[in-house]
A = this chain, B = another copy of it.
Amino acid sequence: MKNTENGAKYRTKQREIMMRYLEGKPGVHVTAGDVCEYFKEQGAPIGQSTVYRQMEKLVDEGLLNKYILDANSPACFEYVSRDSHGTEGVCFHCKCEKCGKLIHLHCDELKEIANHLKGDHGFVLDPLRTVFYGMCEECANA
């Protein structure tokens, strides 16, 4: 969809602050609004368009992942830690449609899905952007 090379060219103050904030929240989902609020709390408000544009760049650079969990919920961004880059430690997401809980799964067996999709269907799965929907254990038992 978006192929333009959109890498970082300038090292602005806003970008630095944003990066520090995101790095401090590995495995946590952050919305554009959260970032704006953080800046406001720091006494240095930021324009929302800057947040969206900078986030888009970070996604293009692979430093951030973007998840769309629900319609009419703001998009979630998550910092991609170094660990998640290797074959080990790939993180899958499960979203409970009943209670809304989000579960992070670190499971090697799920990597076979990717192999199967690739081998039998030629589809290269992006585990970082894929979300499994269903029901969590508690809700299923209830």
Contacts and interface: CB of A to CB of B under 8 A. Distances in A.
- How often does this chain occur in the complex, in copies? 2
Contact of A123 (B109, B120, B126, B137): B137
Interface stretch (A15-23, A35-43, A78-86, A110-118): A110-118
A97 B96 CA distance: 24
Interface residues of A, number: 38
B129 A133 contact: yes
A3 B110 CA distance: 30
A134 interface: yes
Interface string A87-128: 000000010111110010101011001001100111111100
**Dominant SS among interface residues on chain A:** mixed
A121 B98 contact: no
Contacts of A99: 1
A44 interface: no
A116 B3 CA distance: 35
A134 B123 contact: yes
A130 to B, nearest CB: 5
Contacts of A130: 130-134
Contacts of A120: 107, 109
